[in-house]
Amino acid sequence: MNAFKKTPFVLAASLAGALSLSSAHAAEVEVLHWWTSGGEARAANVLKELMEAEGYGWQDFAVAGGGGETAMTVLKSRAMSGNPPSAAQIKGPEIQEWGELGLLGELDGVAEAEGWDTLLPPTVADIMRHDGQYVAVPVNVHRVNWLWANPEVLEAAGVAMPTTLDELFAAGEAIREAGYVPLAHGGQAWQDATVFETVLLATAGTDFYRQALVELDPEALGSATMIEALETFKRLRTLMDDDMPGRDWNIATSMVINGDAAMQLMGDWAKGEFTAAGLTAGVDYLCAAAPGTQDAFTFNIDSLAMFRVEGEEREAQQALARLVLEPTFQEAFNKAKGSIPARPDLDMSEFDTCAQRSQEAFRQTAEQGGLVPSMAHGMAVRADVQGALFDVVTNYFNSPDLEAEEAARRMVNAAQAVL
């Protein structure tokens, strides 16, 4: 008998299998994101597993690049060709831009059924709406203004965690003399901007930060206060190593993990890398608000915006939106990612000490008016404005001959050119 001849039973089984696969494919979501580092990928996989447990398919569309610029380029190409994914990692003002194009699908049915208006802090909920309708779901809340440190390196250098910028520079000198890199950094535009906005916050406070990086007030952007912040920002290069150009953020984090560097200024997604390495907060690594920013909270909210889809894909998409805010995902994802849940009603006792501090800081700063959106991470201004500011910040940081006064003038011109 021919081994490849199919009996009617085999043919029927094959057809049934094909129909089953077709049905599964129809009830599938394609999710574009840039959670590609070790801790981030592990976190994203939690949602994939939850979707599959409910019988839905997950087509992963991961685009590497810590700041998301590459992912947004790919997304725009897909959307212009009329073939957007079911959901995409879109943040801050860009949610409104996509909404204005009429490409986002509403989630009000899910939101009402799940009580999102009650679950979410107003600051978070407002970002997820376009024209009053929910079009995106928040995955987490990141604090950007963190300082991470290797306690063994600090001890070897005889220094404590710095709480002011002056203390940071003093500690850096001792760390360098002890044979370590004081501050791990990756020379990419978004990483430069992350450090810059943290220095600005420490130098000038939350009100000035809003005037300059949210409202784009030309007087603030070109002021003596801005010039002082730029000078301090550039001075931080003396604490970094010469091999930083082009280095990814998680590689910089690994320098702290491995004891090659003492500290890193980076958002709390860095904690996901410490967690993935099996390290314990408060023991194997230290966390604290970035020096001088103890009373502020620069937030970066990851969210999934939903594109207009129909039929079974919409059913799967609605399930995705529901699962994102359920406790199971919020707890598992944020423990792996390093962030805190988007919904503040969850029990944080099983989270590490850094996450517990972050949630308390979020609560306190929200009450005191210290919450500010991160310019570096797409929460404060449109993408074109952000890009213009990135160019000024990173060119200044990497150009020895460019003075702070000129950088401030360019910042004013950049903001006015795109408004």
- Strand, helix or coil for residue 70: helix
Verify that 252 and 374 share a domain, yes or no.
yes
Verify that 321 and 342 share a domain, yes or no.
yes
Q: How confident is the model over 22-39, as pLDDT tens digits?
A: 344 448 999 999 988 877
Verify that 333 and 363 share a domain, yes or no.
no
Q: How confident is the model over 362-393, as pLDDT tens digits?
A: 999 988 888 999 999 999 999 899 999 999 99
Give the number of domains in the chain.
Answer: 2
13 in any annotated domain: no
Q: How confident is the model over 294-350, as pLDDT tens digits?
A: 999 999 999 999 999 999 999 999 999 999 999 999 999 898 888 999 999 999 999
Instruction: Please state, for a pLDDT cut of 90, what percent of the chain lies above it.
Output: 83
- Strand, helix or coil for residue 291: coil
Verify that 290 and 396 share a domain, yes or no.
yes
CATH (domain of 107): 3.40.190.10
Q: How confident is the model over 245-296, as pLDDT tens digits?
A: 999 999 999 999 999 999 999 999 999 899 889 999 999 999 999 999 999 9
pTM (2 d.p.)? 0.87
Residue 194 reports pLDDT greater than 80: yes
Verify that 279 and 219 share a domain, yes or no.
yes
Residue 18 reports pLDDT greater than 70: no
- Which of 14, 16, 51 shows the shortest CA–CA distance to 31? 51
62 in any annotated domain: yes
Residue 407 reports pLDDT greater than 90: yes
Verify that 225 and 332 share a domain, yes or no.
no
Of 355, 375, 402, the domain-final residue = 355
- pLDDT-derived band at 40 (thresholds 50, 70, 90) equals confident
7 in any annotated domain: no
Least confident of 56-65, 67-76, 258-267: 67-76
The interaxial angle of helices 311-324 and 38-53, nearest 10 deg, is 120
20 in any annotated domain: no
11 in any annotated domain: no
59 in any annotated domain: yes
Verify that 198 and 219 share a domain, yes or no.
yes
Query: What is the reported pLDDT for 66?
Result: 64
Residue 13 reports pLDDT greater than 70: no
Residue 1 reports pLDDT greater than 60: no
- Strand, helix or coil for residue 54: coil
Verify that 93 and 197 share a domain, yes or no.
no
Query: What is the reported pLDDT for 115?
Result: 96
159 in any annotated domain: yes
Verify that 349 and 370 share a domain, yes or no.
no
Residue 21 reports pLDDT greater than 60: no
Verify that 306 and 393 share a domain, yes or no.
no
Residue 127 reports pLDDT greater than 50: yes
* Residue range of the domain that includes 326: 27-142+300-355
89 in any annotated domain: yes
Residue 14 reports pLDDT greater than 60: no
Verify that 96 and 118 share a domain, yes or no.
yes
Compute the distance between CA of residue 392 and CA of residue 413 in angstroms, rounded to an integer: 10
Contact indicator for 321, 107 with CB cutoff of 8 Å: yes
Compute the distance between CA of residue 60 and CA of residue 30 in angstroms, rounded to an integer: 6
